[in-house]
Amino acid sequence: MSESAPTEDRRIGPHVTVLGGNRSGKYPHGNSLLVEGLEESLVIDPSLSLSARGSLPRIDRVINSHCHEDHIAGNHLFPSAPWLVHELDLVGLRSLDGMMEIYGYPGPVEEYFRKALVDEFHYRPRADAEGFADARVFDLGGVTVRVIHAPGHTRGHSCLAIEPDGVLYLGDIDLTSFGPYYGDAWSSLADFERSLVAVDALEAHHYATFHHIGVIDERDAFRSRLDRFSAVIQAREQRLVEFLAEPRTLDEIVAHRFVYRPGDAVPYADAVELRSMSQHLERLIDGGRVREVEARRYLAS
């Protein structure tokens, strides 16, 4: 199978099918979920890969786990179905300006990404997009989808529990080696860590992610993956402390790259590094592990 070919669809319960994304769901692609009840069918996070499919199932509702470009890239394929996302991310579905507010990218990076959203991710604003709250339950007839608010990645990021199939959809708690992403204006490291603790306590028969991993069928395997995913946060923080063995400016911290690799050609990398590592730096200062030795120069205590 070529790198660009979609992975095969996989039925993981009587009502739930993973719609395999190109490159095993590697960004900018992803693995969407089709949930079919007796009365309604919905798709969760329609991915960029769905655009290449010759035919699509009947969809009565589109649910987005959060408002990021790769998770809404296939929304436009279902113009007659309602689009829903957590109320805290709703502004992103309703307008391009709202979407850019979620990212919070500066000047030239915003201009680049604004264009990419439309040209590459098929962004279409929906003024009538609907918001949902934590614990909302969608009854499809014989199957339910329950919202579990899990913020941090975005303010509205949510997991979805699907019963009676015992499926927990994790969205972008994606269990990859890259680790948690909290690099947008609307991201929160502290919220993400709380969400990871909460998700660890949730039991399911199948744990599904949007990127890479796909589906994990055993709880022990899920928890092992979650532990490794979570550990990336502390690894970044420890690397930052070691880097601050001598005084460094915030610009030097950004240039060093703690989230992305130094050679990664990511147009928005500096913005992500700034937002991510500023959160680490703030709590290291609050905890007395780092101090500001002069204006905007920091040293590990």
Same structural domain, 143 and 272: no
- What is the number of domains present in the chain? 2
Whether 5 is in a domain gets the answer no
Same structural domain, 109 and 86: yes
Whether 1 is in a domain gets the answer no
Mean predicted lDDT score pLDDT of the chain: 96
The pTM for the full model equals 0.96
Same structural domain, 250 and 225: no
Same structural domain, 195 and 124: yes
**Which residues of the chain register pLDDT less than 70?**
1-6
2, 103, 233, 267, 271 from 182: Cα distances, Å: 31, 10, 10, 17, 11
Buried b (16+ CB within 10 A) or exposed e, 195-228: bbeebeeeebebbbbbbbbbbbeeeeebeebbee
Q: What is the pLDDT of residues 19-75, one digit of tens each?
A: 999 998 999 999 999 999 999 999 999 999 998 888 888 999 999 999 999 999 999
Whether 2 is in a domain gets the answer no
Q: What is the pLDDT of residues 170-182, one digit of tens each?
A: 999 999 999 999 9
Whether 238 is in a domain gets the answer no
Residues spanned by the domain of 87: 10-231
Same structural domain, 136 and 251: no
CA gap 177, 231 in Å, rounded: 10
Examine the fold and report which residue of 176, 199, 231 is the final residue of a domain before the chain moves on.
231
Whether 282 is in a domain gets the answer yes
Angle between the 219-243 and 269-286 helix axes, to the nearest 10 degrees?
80
Examine the fold and report which residue of 179, 198, 231 is the final residue of a domain before the chain moves on.
231
Examine the fold and report which residue of 183, 200, 231 is the final residue of a domain before the chain moves on.
231
Q: What is the CATH number of the domain that holds 55?
A: 3.60.15.10
299: Cβ–Cβ under 8 A, 6 or more apart, which residues?
244, 245, 246, 247, 248, 290, 291, 293
Same structural domain, 71 and 150: yes
Query: What is the structure's pLDDT at 162?
Result: 98
CA gap 265, 209 in Å, rounded: 25
Same structural domain, 80 and 157: yes
Same structural domain, 277 and 164: no
Same structural domain, 147 and 211: yes
CA gap 137, 150 in Å, rounded: 16
Same structural domain, 48 and 115: yes
Query: What is the structure's pLDDT at 50?
Result: 95
Whether 3 is in a domain gets the answer no
Residue 175: HSE in the Cβ half-sphere, 13 Å Cα cutoff: 22
Q: E strands, the chain, where?
A: 10-11, 16-19, 32-36, 41-44, 61-63, 83-86, 130-132, 137-139, 144-149, 158-163, 167-169, 206-208, 215-216, 248-249, 290-294, 297-300
Query: What is the structure's pLDDT at 6?
Result: 62
Same structural domain, 276 and 150: no
Whether 202 is in a domain gets the answer yes
Same structural domain, 195 and 290: no
Whether 67 is in a domain gets the answer yes
Residues paired with 16 in a beta bridge:
35
